[in-house]
Every structure is written in structure tokens, then in C-alpha cells.
Structure 1
Amino acid sequence: MSDMTQPPANPFLKRLPLIVIAIVAILGAFFLRDYLTFEALAENREALIGFRDNNYLLTALVFIAAYVVIVAFSLPGATMATLTGGFLFATFPGALFNILGATIGATGIFLAARWGFGEALGKRLEGAAGTVKKFKDGIDENQWSMLFLIRLVPAVPFFLANLIPSFLEVPLHRFVISTFIGIIPGTVVYTSVGAGLGEVFARGETPNLGIIFEPQILFPIVGLCVLAALPIIINALRGKKGL
């Protein structure tokens, strides 16, 4: 039994949240790309720090809300938002604020996609036969591993990692938990980069966003990916032995 709220019966109403997200995402790509940038943060850093110092709680709440909107509507600047979280609030609690905002925003996309297309597509996959049915069953048997893998692997776009589970009938609680935990490594790395932006600004440089692919960062994340994939590998080997 699904833990989702029943969607509206009208097909247009079911797809309306996704339509709104798509429209806002397109508009945001055109009108916000010059505002959610490293240069914009550098120019406004003193004003942001001053506002934070005078209104810490309000700044934290507004920041989390802004992060939710950026992720939920797939607006440009998610990486800059993560860096800003580190710049304003340090690695901790900045990483926590980033993770909360990203998880809530991702859940919004997940629900919109589930209401719009996910349930119908899930039923089609469940009723399919042959290879498609085996693929769907294999994912169902390893949902936790699959969810953590798509969060941990840096090559999987965040937007796709929100959509794929919605089409595979993943329960809401599994999506939320795996998203919150799975994005911790990458988020902490980028938040720590943001926490050092003060020195970067002073030198007139730009942050090294490729740091996540450096060996001392990438290898531990690859190790986590291997651990997440172990149940899938074990189940596959058991399946072969049973043939």
C-alpha cells in the first residue's frame, strides 16, 4: 500500500504541479542565471553578512526557504546556494541547512512527478512482461541500495535522482530518508568550500568546485557507493546460483 496521498482525479490537475515546475524552471534559466552566481555573492557578501549578524534566525529560515524553492523548481544556482550556506553559516550548521533545503525541495519534485506520471507509469511497469518486468522487480528488491547509489554517485544529476524514484513506486519515507542521508557527503564537501569563501574573496579568486573529484574526496565517496551497491551485487550472485 502506498503512503502517498491520493492525487486529483482530473488528469490536468494531476499534471499541474509538474507544469508549473517546468514553466518556472524555464523562466528561471533565462531571468535568474545572472543573479545566482559567484560574482553576485561576492558583490553582496558584506550586506548578507550584516543582515545575518543582525537577524541570524530569520536569515537561516529565509535561506532554507530559498534553497527549497531553487531545488523544487529546478532553478539555476543550487551549487551557489550550497556555497552560500557555508559562507553564511560555516560548515556546520551550514551543511545541515543545505541538506534540509535540498531534501524538502527534492521531495516537492518527487511528489509532483508521482502525482503527474509516476503512479500510471509504475502500474505499466508492474504489468509489463519479460525484461521490463525483471528490471522492475530487480529495482524493487534493492530499492534502498538504488536510492543511495543515485545520491552518492556525482555523475547522476540531482534532478534525475528526484524523478527516477517517482516513476518506480518508491515509498515517500524511503525517498526522504535516502535523500537526506545520501546527499550528506557531497553537501558537506561543498559547504566546507563555501565556508572558506572569505579567503577566496580576499584573493580575488574563484572557488575550486572540482574538489569533489580530487582523490582524497572522491575515493571515500566511491567507497560509500560500493557499500551501497553490495546488496545489489549479492542478490545478483544469488540469482545466478539459483539458475
Structure 2
Amino acid sequence: MTRGTLGKILLVAMALALVAAFFGFGFDKYLTLSFLKQSREALATAYAAAPARFLAGYFALYVLVAALSLPGATVLTLAGGALFGFWTTLLVVSFASTIGATAACALARTLFRQAIARRLTGKLKAIDDGIRREGAFYLFTLRLIPLFPFFVVNAAMGLTAMPLKTFYAVSQLGMLPGTVVYVNAGAQLGRLDSLAGIVSPTLLVSFALLGVFPLAARKAVALARARRARNARKGPTTRGETS
């Protein structure tokens, strides 16, 4: 057995052990809205006592959840907004989610290629076709409009030839608008100190954005694709006229 093969086996075993521990010890119960509601004051106290350490732990947990495709990223985003405020959470989540997604892509590419290819045959073909047609722009649209679940995009992209640095850069940019919407919703929930605040204009607008954003993103992508198609049609004609 070569050193490279042994290393892959150890990485697979470690990843599977982390997933098993996550569910086996019931950590998934802590990444729920009900737990966040019950533990908000205790979490806020812990953050106030050691902000840097708490943020570092939050960042590491978010990367781990994204990298191993564990449930709870949305709850973590809302919780961050409620605990840390908008700007701090946006900075942390934007990088943590992208680093985790890139790690998941790398794991799919190096360790789980055959298993993922068998499980995502139909979705993989659709994504492959999209990458061939539009390249990195297709990944950008998948990040803006969740046609496929987050973990499916990460895994499927690991089976393509897209460089990881391109995947990271496009994901960082494409996921940012959605991150802004969810972090803002969490930040507004964090300011809620009475039942009357539930009907405040700011909170209502924040949650309206959760519903409106996918529609707006879909429209923006459609316009961008139409513009790209027009430019592609005009290009050869313009070159022919000038030659």
C-alpha cells in the first residue's frame, strides 16, 4: 500500500468518524432553532466573556459543518447574526462557508469520487452540461439560485475539472448575496426583545427578503444570460463587418 493510498484511507476514516460522532452524540440537536431560542442568553454570555475564542470556535464549527455537508448551516448563520451582529457575522460566515464548501469539493474530488458519481448520476450530468455551456458562470448561478442543494453542488463540482481556486472565488462571490439576507434576518432576530417586535417593519422586511431574494436572483440571472446570448450573436457579425 502506497503512502498516498494510506493517507486517503485515513482521511476517509476521519471524515466518517466525525460524521458518526456528530449524529451519535446528538450534536445535530444543538443546531436547531429551538435550541438557539432556549440558549440565546447563555450563548450571549459566553461570547461576551471571550469574544475572540467564541468567534474562532464558531468559525471552525461552520467550516466543519459545510465541509462534511452536515445539517445546520442555516441555523448557524441565523444564530451568528443574532449573537454577533450583522457585519461581524457576514465576514465570518462568508469566509467560513466558502472555505467549508471548497473543502467539501476537494474531499469529493480526492476521496469520494466513485461513490458520489454513482449517487448523483442525473444531477451530475445536468451540472456537467451547464459547466460545458457556461463555465464558471454556471457555478455562479447555482450559488445565487439554489437549483440543487448546497452539498450537491460542492460534491458534483469536485468531479469536474474546475480548479479549486476558481471554485472558491466564484463561490465566495455567488454566495454573498444570500449570506447577506440570512445574516440580516438573524441580526434582526437578535434585536427582538418583545413580542411587539415581531411586527416591526425592519423585521418584516428582513423576512420578506428571504422569500423575495430567490425570485430576484432568478430574474437577474435570466437577464445576464440573455445579455451574454446577445453579445455572442453580435460578436461574429461585428467581426465580419469590420473585416
- Matched AA of 1:25: V
Distance verdict in 2 for CA 1:172–1:230, change over 3 Å: farther
Distance verdict in 2 for CA 1:113–1:18, change over 3 Å: farther
Distance verdict in 2 for CA 1:16–1:140, change over 3 Å: farther
Match of 2:216 among 217, 220, 231: 220
- Matched AA of 1:185: P
State the superposition RMSD in angstroms: 3.6
| CA–CA distance in structure 1, aligned partners of residues 130 and 69 of structure 2 | 29
Q: How is 1:23-172 mapped onto 2 (pairs within 5 angstroms)? A: 24-25=18-19, 27-29=21-23, 31-118=26-113, 139-140=131-132, 142-172=134-164
**Percent of aligned pairs with the same amino acid:** 30
Distance verdict in 2 for CA 1:19–1:47, change over 3 Å: same
| CA–CA distance in structure 1, aligned partners of residues 218 and 162 of structure 2 | 24
Segments of 4+ in structure 1 off by > 4 A?
Answer: 135-138, 207-213, 230-238
For structure 2, the residue ranges without an aligned partner over 5 or more in a row are 118-124, 238-243
Task: Write the deviation string for residues 51-73 of structure 1: whole angstroms up to 9, x where unpaired.
Answer: 22232222221111111111112
Please identify which structure carries the higher helix content. 2
Q: Secondary structure at the match of 1:170?
A: coil
Deviates more, 1:152-161 or 1:52-61: 52-61
Matching residue of 1:191: 183
- Matched AA of 1:145: F
Shift of 1:42: 1.5
Match of 1:181 among 160, 166, 173: 173
> Normalized against structure 2, the TM-score is what?
0.73
Distance verdict in 2 for CA 1:138–1:90, change over 3 Å: closer
Is the 1:83–1:193 contact (alpha carbons within 8 Å) kept by the matching residues of 2? Answer: yes
Deviates more, 1:42-51 or 1:225-234: 225-234
For structure 1, the residue ranges without an aligned partner over 5 or more in a row are 1-6, 123-131
| CA–CA distance in structure 1, aligned partners of residues 30 and 111 of structure 2 | 31
Task: Write the deviation string for residues 130-161 of structure 1: whole angstroms up to 9, x where unpaired.
Answer: xx8xx958724632111101111123211011
Is the 1:110–1:163 contact (alpha carbons within 8 Å) kept by the matching residues of 2? Answer: yes
Shift of 1:202: 3.5
- Matched AA of 1:21: A
Number of equivalent positions: 218
> Normalized against structure 1, the TM-score is what?
0.73
| CA–CA distance in structure 1, aligned partners of residues 227 and 109 of structure 2 | 26
| CA–CA distance in structure 2, aligned partners of residues 151 and 59 of structure 1 | 28
